[in-house]
Amino acid sequence: MASTQAAHVLFAAVLAATIGANTARPAAADDYFKGKTIRIIAGSEAGGMYDTFGRLVSRHLADHLPGKPTVVVANMPGASGVRATNYLHEVAPKDGTVLATFNKSMPFYQAMGEGGIRFKAQEFSWIGALSQTMTLLPCGTRPASRRSRTPSGVRSSWAP
């Protein structure tokens, strides 16, 4: 019984804090994105992975922003996303109306001194990632005796 009462009190406190936080915001913040269009720059062609990520986010983003702005995806393929990343750094307005989804290796490309890089990854405001992938660097080959152990109908990641 006491734990149920404590849970109700905690719920009421969290609810009050949430309502208070939502009503205490300045009116200007509530209207900041109203009537604006947010562009998500996809660093791939239509149908590519970053285009797909951008379109997924575009379906839901407006519901979580004050003023419920229009959200559109613009594709900017080129140089494995370098073109889109350079655009975001050099041309796009810095007012929160342009986001981008591109190759996660951009900071690595910059560190390695790849050609055509004009952005500084450390100057971006990184929001998050839509996927987490493990990058592996295989070396050597799998012995022939192990190749035959792959069950039929199962694709092996190793070259035959």
What is the predicted pLDDT for the residue at 46?
95
In 3D, which of 33, 97, 37, 32 has the Cα closest to residue 72? 37
What is the predicted pLDDT for the residue at 100?
94
Spatial contact of 131 and 145, defined as CB atoms under 8 Å apart: no
- Token pair, residue 136, equals 């592996």
Alpha-carbon distance of 60 to 44, in angstroms, equals 20
Q: Quick: pLDDT tens for 22-62.
A: 444 555 677 899 999 999 999 999 999 899 999 999 999 99
Terminal C-alpha separation, the chain: 65
What is the predicted pLDDT for the residue at 127?
86
56 domain-assigned: yes
16 domain-assigned: no
Number of structural domains in the chain? 1
77 domain-assigned: yes
93 domain-assigned: yes
69 domain-assigned: yes
13 domain-assigned: no
- Token pair, residue 41, equals 């720059």
- Amino acid at position 119, single letter: F
- CATH number for the domain spanning 92: value is 3.40.190.150
Host domain of residue 63: 32-116
Q: Which residue has the tokens 């660093």?
A: 43
In 3D, which of 85, 93, 71 has the Cα closest to residue 126? 85
Q: Which residue has the tokens 């594709």?
A: 75
Q: Quick: pLDDT tens for 61-99.
A: 999 999 999 999 999 999 989 999 999 999 999 999 999
112 domain-assigned: yes
2 domain-assigned: no
Using DSSP's 3-state secondary structure scheme, residue 55 falls into helix
